[in-house]
Amino acid sequence: MAQLDFTLSAGPTVASARTLAALGAPITYHYDPDFLALFRRTQQKVATLFETTNDVVLMQGEAIVGLEGAARSLVRPGMHVLNLVQGVFGKGMGYWLTDFGAVLHEIEVPYDEAVSPESVEQYLDAHPEIELLTVVASETPSGTVSDMSRIGPICRSRGVLTLVDTVSGVGGMEFRTDEWGLDVCVAGAQKCLGGPPGVAMVTVSQAAWDAIEKNERAPRASYLSLLDWKEKWLIGGVFPYTPSVSDMHGLEACVDAMLEEGVDAAIERHRKSALVTRAGVRGLGMEIWPARDEIAAYCVTSVRLPDSIDHLELRKYVRERYGVMLSSGQGAGNLIRIAHMGPTASGLYPVVGIAALGRALVDLGHPVDIGAGVEAALATISSQS
């Protein structure tokens, strides 16, 4: 087995030396004044990253803890909820919503497509009983995005609350929480920020807090409780449970790096890497998975595979033979993903992904033009200013 040289997976991804060093900071008591100051500062920095003045709740655990906590907090039995499904995470949200007692409405499209804002508008107008919309801003397993700049305002103007999974969205695509009127947004650190997989960043609007406070079923005295974080920590200054001290150091470091770079510059870096990777894929003679370039993510490029090649076997082969870790389809389809998120959305990383993918396909008996793929990727880098 080759040693692991390049992690080009779709999260967790590579962390910078600065983030790794921060993760190694001394572990302190969580009520140490230095840690309290770090925690509060980091909340503020995360708000800047999300472009919001809403409350920020930093939950300890993978982003899923934030998503489940938010969904449980918002959903009352019998509440009508519209869930947009264009991939695996959207589909999974629907199962939760049903489980929590919602009356589930869904607009579902094939996993290489995106739900159109027009269809959301029409559906909400035809169903004024809907109180909450759930959507995935960046469907990482399929490498597609939703147009939040339009879906947000459509919901806000109709008084419909929004719960947005932007785990791989923040930092890798335009994401304007307040301008787009988004109520509850959940992100993780291990995607475009290149941080540790262990914290969930959740933003909560006043309208969302009002709905949660009125919801008798919202978790209280629970690891999943947003209300505990609000009442105990945001208001009372007491943690509901001990935060992951090391992860918080790592989170501050990766958020600092992105704010210093500038969020718009970071997004542009992800966009450029996506263009390089897409050109490389097409140069190989392959197709990207998303049906249209306009809905393709900036943080990951998913590549459609022929039936003769299995995505899991291909991922395993590339890792074992060439020491490059890619991501598989994760339920979205027979596809392989080259991620360019966090530190790997830079320079020649995408070219490494194209070269390793191309040679692996040839090794496994599927002819592709490796030279043309690599050259197309390099030519795209060369043409970028």
The residue ranges that bind ligand PLP (CB under 6 A) are 11, 62-64, 89, 136, 138-140, 165, 167-168, 188, 191
Collapsed DSSP state (helix, strand, coil) of residue 322: helix
CB of 10 to ligand PLP, least distance (A): 7
- Taking CB atoms, the residue at the shortest distance from ligand PLP is 140
Nearest approach, Cβ of residue 164 and ligand PLP (Å) = 10
Q: How far is the CB of 174 from ligand PLP (least distance, A)?
A: 16
Nearer to ligand PLP, 138 or 277 (CB): 138
Of 186 and 361, nearer to ligand PLP (C-beta) is 186
Nearest alpha-carbon partner for 143 in 277, 18, 310, 30: 277
Whichever of 288 and 355 has its CB closer to ligand PLP, that residue is 288
Instruction: Classify residue 182 as left (phi > 0), alpha (psi -120 to 50) or beta.
Output: beta
Strand pairing category for 161-165 and 130-136: parallel
* Distance of closest approach, residue 175 Cβ to ligand PLP, in angstroms: 13
Enumerate the H helices of 144-217 as residue ranges.
148-156, 206-214
Residue type, 66: G
CB of 292 to ligand PLP, least distance (A): 19
- Chain position carrying tokens 């090794």: 363
The nearer residue to ligand PLP, 203 or 380, going by C-beta atoms, is: 203
The H-assigned helical ranges of the chain are 17-23, 33-50, 63-74, 88-99, 117-126, 148-156, 206-214, 226-228, 245-261, 263-284, 311-322, 349-363, 370-383
Task: Give the nearer residue to ligand PLP in terms of CB position, either 61 or 358.
Answer: 61
User: At its nearest, how many Å lie between ligand PLP and the CB of residue 11?
Assistant: 5
What percent of the chain is helix, strand and coil (3-state, nearest 5)? 45, 15, 40
- The residue among 198 and 243 lying less far from ligand PLP, judged by its C-beta, is 198
